[in-house]
Each structure stands twice: as structure tokens, then as C-alpha cells.
Amino acid sequence: MKQMLNDSLKVLLPVIAVLFIIQGSDVQASITGWDEYESCINEKTATELKQKYCSRDLEEAEDRIVYVEATFKETRIKLEGRISSLESQLKTAQEDQAATERTFYDEKTRLENVIAGLNSQIAGLHQQMSLLKDQMEQQKSDFTQQIADRDHTIQILKQDSGAKEQALLNNNDLLQKRYEEEVARAKSELLAEKNSTIKALEEQRNKYERQLIALRLKTEEAQKKQLADMEAFKNEIRANNQELEKLLALSKTQIDELKQIIRDRNNEIATLRQTSKAQQDELERMLAQEKELARQLQTEIQQGAIRLKKFQGKLIINIDNKISFDSGSASLKTEVKAAFNKISAILVNFPNNQILIEGHTDNVQLVSGAEFQDNWDLSTTRALSVLRFLLKNKALDQKRFSAVGYGEFNPIADNDTSEGRALNRRVDIVVVPRFN
């Protein structure tokens, strides 16, 4: 569709350019009085303007579709990227949560094992203390029995023994007293060590329990934060999805509307395509005419006396003044008549074209008492001289021809130099395509 549009525009551009020339043809119409030509031009102008604005609306609609599709694509990519980023963050948060939970349970297990070990050590110490207590009670019972036996022996010895036995009894009393002191000291030390060990183990257990509680609280807070973050991520994803759905619905509606506009414009262009085909055929005839003129006037073109150019869809045959007229004269030189005969013969083969003869001068004013009143008069008379010479060829339709003088007011070069003034002194034969 775009290629067809471009082809149509290539055809229409020269036609639109012709409109500007036609709009400036009031002077021409005033000279020639072509009612039929003016009517045709008005009808053609309306058709070409309709094609112009249809094409412009079509281009604007296609540009709008491209813009909407690009905006939609860019927004969709951004939203998809944001959703992907949020999903990645959610996945990372879930992984961090799982890692935190594993760390929490590992640390919890370790602390519980440590506490269990401490409880086991405390129980062992209690068992050892109980054994020591039983042993001390047994030893105390044994010592008490021994003391009772010795007291009995002493009583016997007191009754039967002398001074030696008394000394032994005294020594035994000393030993017994020392033994009781040692037992009391050992018992006191063991009790102090037991209390100290139990206290240290209790403090360590309390420390680990506090750490476990702190870790549990920290883990619970982290889990709450992660859950809140995940919920926020989910809400943002839902909002982005809703926004994307709205944009999708809006973009589809706009695209459908623009496509409908394009279909309407295509229908209008299809209606005008018959006219465009005729215009294309006329432009091809113009090209053939240009090639034939270039071939027939090859010598004059190489000498620089005649120049061919196209401007705004028109073919312009630019004839240098130095081979056409003497200074201040409107009579054709003999040497230029052969070139005009070639031109008139070629124009016969293209009967649909309008021919406008334009006379131009430089800005040098005519001397007082000259044959012509001013440059307007001179340029118009020269244009009429060329017109009358061409129309000597009776095969040409006089209704297709007109003449106009521009004086010095349509220069193609700078009048401040002699070379520029020479280029400005010219007669242009303007071939305007006429579309039926």
C-alpha cells in the first residue's frame, strides 16, 4: 500500500507544481482570454487538490499508525521489562526468605543442641554430686562406726592401759579431728564448685536462649517485611498489567480508526486513479517531447544559445537573447529562425499542450526616444514576435498559444554583472501539459 501511495505521489507532485504556475496565469489569461482553458484549469485544480489532500490525509493517518504502534511497542517493552524486574526481585526475595529460614532453623537446631548438651552436663553434675554425697555419707557412716569402735576400744584401754595407751588415744583424737576438718573442707569445695559450675551453665543457657529468642524475632520481622514487599510487588504487577491492558485496548481502537481512515482515503484515491493515469500519460508525452527537442536542437544547446529545463512540471525552452534579437529590437534575427522552425514542428506532434511565450529583459532602462516605451513594452513585443513566427506553421492550433511580457521583474541571474544581465535578456517558450 505504501509503494502504491509513493507511486501516486510521484505522479501527483508535478501536477501540484503545475497548480502554482496556473495560479500565476492571470496576466496570461488577460492577454489570451481563454475561457475554455480557464474552465479546464479550474476543473483540473479541484481534482488535483482533492488528490493532494487525500494523499496528505493518508500520509498523516499512516504516520499516526506508525507513531501509535511505536509508542505501544515501546510502552509494552517497558512494562514487560518492569514486570520481569519485579518477578526477578520477587524470586530473589523468596530465595532470601528461604535462605533466612534455613539459617534460622540451622541456628535454632545448633542452639537447641547446645542447650541439650548443657542440660545433659548439668544432669551429669547433679548425678556426680549425688554419688559424691552418697560416698561421703558412706564414709561418714564408716568413720562413725570406726570412731564408735575406737571409742569402745579406748574405754577398754582406759580401764586397762597406762600412760602409753593414753598417748595413743590422744593422737587418735587429733587424727580424727584433722580428718573431720579435711572432710568438711572437701565437702565445702565440692559444693562451691558445683554451685559455680551450675551457675555458669545456667548463665550460658540463658544467653543462648536470649539469642534464640532474638533470632526468632528477627526472622519473624524479616518474614513480615518480605511478605509485605512481595504483596507490594504483586500489587504493582497487577497495576502494570491493568495499565498494559488499557493501553492495548486504546491502541487497538486508535489503530482501527486510522485503518478505517486509510481505507476511506484508498477508496478516494482509487476513484481518482483514472485521472492520475491520464496525467501520467501526459507527463510521459512531455518527456518524449523534451528528448525530441534536445535531439533536434543539439547544436544550439551545445553552443549555449538554447537551454532546456523543467520547472514545476513545465518544460521551458530558454532562448538566449543574443541569437534572437538585436539590442533594443523586437525583430527576430535570421539565424534563430531555423531553431524556431524545429521547435514549431515538434510542437505539432503534441497537440494537448498549452504554449506560453514569455519575454524577459534586464534592468537597464531604455534610452529616451527609443522605439519602445519601457522594458514591459519591449519584453511583450518580443514575446509576440516569437509567437507570430511559430504560428506561421498552420498545423499549430492558435488557441493553445499565449504571450506575456515580464519586463525586468523575473530575472534568473544577478543584474549587477554583465553576464547576469545577458542571461536575463531572454525569451522562454513554456510548454504546459494539459490534462483532459
Question: Can you give the pLDDT at residue 163?
Answer: 65
Q: Report which of residues 366 and 8 the model is more confident about.
A: 366
Same domain for 134 and 237, yes or no, is: yes
Question: Can you give the pLDDT at residue 6?
Answer: 54
Whole-number mean pLDDT of the chain? 78
Encode pLDDT of 68-80 as tens digits: 777 777 877 877 8
Strand partners, 402: 356
- Beta strands 426-432 and 314-320 are antiparallel
Structural domain of 210: 75-247
Same domain for 306 and 223, yes or no, is: no
Q: What percent of the chain has pLDDT over 90?
A: 22
Residue 153's Cβ-count burial label (10 Å; 0-12, 13-18, 19+) is: middle
Evaluate if residue 40 carries a pLDDT over 70.
Answer: no
Instruction: For residue 314, give the CATH number of its domain.
Output: 3.30.1330.60
Same domain for 85 and 230, yes or no, is: yes
Question: Can you give the pLDDT at residue 189?
Answer: 80
- The Cα–Cα gap between 217 and 107 comes to 13
Among 262-276, 331-345, 401-415, the minimum mean pLDDT is found in 262-276
Same domain for 301 and 232, yes or no, is: no
The single residue listed with the C-alpha cell 527609443 is: 370
Taking the complete model, does pTM exceed 0.95, yes or no?
no
Same domain for 310 and 399, yes or no, is: yes
Cβ-Cβ contacts under 8 Å for 158 (sequence gap 6 or more): 165, 166, 169
Question: Can you give the pLDDT at residue 165?
Answer: 62
Q: How many CA atoms lie within 13 A of 103 on its CB side?
A: 13
Work out the average pLDDT over 13-30: 43
Question: Can you give the pLDDT at residue 34?
Answer: 42
Residue 239's Cβ-count burial label (10 Å; 0-12, 13-18, 19+) is: exposed
DSSP state of 398: G
Same domain for 134 and 230, yes or no, is: yes
What domain count does the chain have?
A: 2
Whether residue 208 lies inside any domain: the answer is: yes
Encode pLDDT of 329-347 as tens digits: 999 999 899 999 999 999 9
Whether residue 144 lies inside any domain: the answer is: yes
Q: Report which of residues 380 and 10 the model is more confident about.
A: 380
Instruction: For residue 188, give the CATH number of its domain.
Output: 1.10.287
Encode pLDDT of 96-108 as tens digits: 878 877 887 887 7
Same domain for 370 and 236, yes or no, is: no
